[in-house]
Chain A
Amino acid sequence: METGPILRAMTRNKLGVILISLQIAFTMTVVINAFFIINERSRLMARPSGLDEANTFFLTSIGFGENFNGAVTVADDLAMLRQLPGVVDVTVTNAIPVSGSGSNSGVRLVDDESAPAAYAAYYRVDEHAVETMDLDIIAGRNFTTQEIQWRKSGEAIATDQLIISRALASRMFPEREPSAVLGETLYISGLPPHQVIGIVEQLQGPWPTNNNLELSMLQPIHSFDGADTYLLRTAPGERDRLMVEVEEMLVASNGSRIIRNLMSLERTRAESYQVDSAMSTILWVVIVTLVFITCMGIVGLAVFGINRRRKQIGTRRALGATRMQILRHFMVENFLVSGLGVTLGAVLTIGFGIGLTSIFNMPVMAWYYTPLGMLALIVIGQVAVLGPSSGAARTEPAIATRSV
């Protein structure tokens, strides 16, 4: 290998080497950290809500006029919708998971004014919520029909049962298995003591960016306040048809209300994660652009260097270099420049990562990002320089004897 002479020759042409190394280092720093951010966003966006999102939609029925009777309307609607072919189940709820809008409350183990052990989202639903949301009860039981409190807005809450997510159970009772949490009493701000009767595997809250997204609970309550949100799960493939059909049916069944917010859960998720999705797209554009520019820089430096040294290449060929040896010469040269760049880039990447962690409270980047990034940049560099190097290798040795 000609590593020694190539290195010594590079020290006599420092400027180009330093500039391209800095470009590689900068590219690596931005690309790896951007890639890490994209992966983090993708991981967050891919977290399951716990619901059968592909087959679920919701709508809000808003009553108006003096004759509108919320309790009767909701009871009639639920009964009618549950009879509809293709509907798996329906529940009425105060909030929709991952929608960005809902309610939460402090949860305590003791009934005092101390800081809550957790803040958890709550869904006020009937006994059909578990089936509608496709939740998996891993301990305990569902609500019974008799446990649901249908109340007017402002009326005191008289229920004392709770179904909570596994994440909330773990937060409140870190050392216990879910089944050991059953029967425990939790204190929710401003409400009577609640007893845990069931635990579901997963149920996300309404706020995707919230750190406590997985902490949630179901309360067997529905309040009539004029606006009732129905959550419906359909058989696979029936959702879009039923969205149209259900809206028309509800509008036709009662002239004292309007239907609003008809939306699938998939679209809700997409809208809630729109910023994250857009950021990922922007970062991908940045990555591709930077890598492209760096490749162009590498190719440019290689082509310039080859054209400048065309006669030297011919001389090397005259002195006995095979085409493969010429190819290898330029590949090694690029490898050394890239090696310098990615080494510097590794330092910058780690430093930048530490900055992101401390300033923006992001998770620590996994150790393998940096070596994988170094490897990727070196491979990209080698691929970029392959074309110009192959061209150099095709230089005819007779060029050595030409006077110009």
Chain B
Amino acid sequence: MLKMTDVCKVFRTELVETHALSDFSLTIDEGEFVSITGPSGCGKTTFLNIAGLLETLTSGQYLLDGTDVSTLSDFQRAKLRNQKIGFIFQSFNLMPDLNLFDNIDVPLRYRGMKASERKQRIDQALDSVGLLSRKKHVPSQLSGGQQQRVAIARALVGKPLFLLADEPTGNLDSNTAHGVMDLLHEINADGTTIIMVTHDLELATQSRRNVHILDGRISSPVLTPVDFHRESATVGS
């Protein structure tokens, strides 16, 4: 479903050349729940941006659902993002002036979907996160956890190939974070692939597979759930 081969991402300024990702190869299959961990500045966000088609790669190959996205135009990448990828952001990134219904409607409108179908999908998505009754509310009337649920509903409403979650619990207290993680597990159990970027190793243990990045490369071996506690202990010491 997602296959990166020898992907490099270099940021250049007049003075500095920064290799954010180097020879990065990774394959993620359908239905997986993969966590991406690593210290600050290791390249997690760069990976997320490239995986989510938010940035282009400098070299290498990225196959998304069999399509080589390395050479796509900005327009084609926007269309592909809209159809295949659902985003969950750390700060929720909801539109503060739009009510919940209109917020979730945003990706569907860009897809050019009919109003009746959009309404059906939005109601269904809001119902799945338990917020259907509040669809006329604006984000500021909700708690942080509820806002992230709305963001998850927005990510799911387009029935994407996979969800890209960027520190999805980073702005939530632990109780609320657990609730959000439970919701993500439910979504994954229903067959949706989830790629979650986090620096929280405790959260990463809840994924089926972890990919640890260090200095823009995958620090081998790829950790299994059993290894997490050891890794956590290493980082903690």
Contact = CB atoms under 8 A, between A and B. Distances in A.
Interface in A363-399: 396-398
Interface residues of B, number: 34
B229 interface: no
Contacts of B78: 317, 320-323, 397
A396 B54 contact: yes
Given A398-B49, A400-B87, A401-B49, A320 B79 contact: yes
Contact of A323 (B74, B98, B102, B107): B74
B111 A5 contact: no
Interface residues of A, number: 26
A12 interface: yes
Contact of B81 (A4, A311, A318): A318
B74 A319 contact: no
A9 B89 contact: no
A52 to B, nearest CB: 65
A9 B138 CA distance: 10
Q: Is the interface of A mostly helix, strand, loop or mixed?
A: helix
A315 interface: yes
A398 to B, nearest CB: 4
A403 B91 contact: yes
Given A401-B89, A401-B166, A319 B49 contact: no
19 contacts: A5-B98, A5-B109, A8-B97, A8-B99, A9-B97, A13-B97, A311-B93, A315-B89, A315-B95, A319-B82, A319-B107, A320-B81, A320-B83, A322-B110, A325-B110, A397-B78, A398-B54, A401-B52, A401-B89
Contacts of B97: 8-9, 12-13
Contacts of A403: 90-91
Contacts of A2: 109
Given A311-B93, A400-B54, A320 B98 contact: no
Interface in A302-358: 311-312, 315-325
A397 B54 CA distance: 5
Interface string A268-282: 000000000000000
Interface of A: 2, 4-5, 8-9, 12-13, 311-312, 315-325, 396-398, 400-401, 403
Interface string B127-141: 000000000001000
Interface in B43-68: 45, 48-49, 52-55
Contacts of B91: 403
Interface in B72-119: 74-75, 78-79, 81-83, 87, 89-91, 93, 95, 97-99, 102, 105-107, 109-111
B87 A8 contact: no
Contacts of A400: 54, 87, 89, 93
Contacts of A12: 97, 138
Contacts of A4: 102
Nearest to A324: B75
Contacts of A318: 52, 54, 81, 87, 93
A280 to B, nearest CB: 45
B154 interface: yes
Given A12-B97, A319-B87, A401-B48, A5 B82 contact: no
B98 A9 contact: yes
A150 to B, nearest CB: 88
A323 B75 contact: yes
B111 A320 contact: yes
A5 B102 CA distance: 6
A320 B107 contact: yes
A325 B45 CA distance: 26
A355 to B, nearest CB: 39
Contacts of A325: 110
Contacts of B106: 5, 316, 319
Top 5 nearest A-B pairs by Cβ distance?
A320-B82, A9-B97, A398-B54, A315-B93, A319-B107
Contact of B154 (A5, A319, A324, A397): A319
B213 to A, nearest CB: 15
Interface string B24-58: 00000000000000000000010011001111000
A323 B76 CA distance: 11
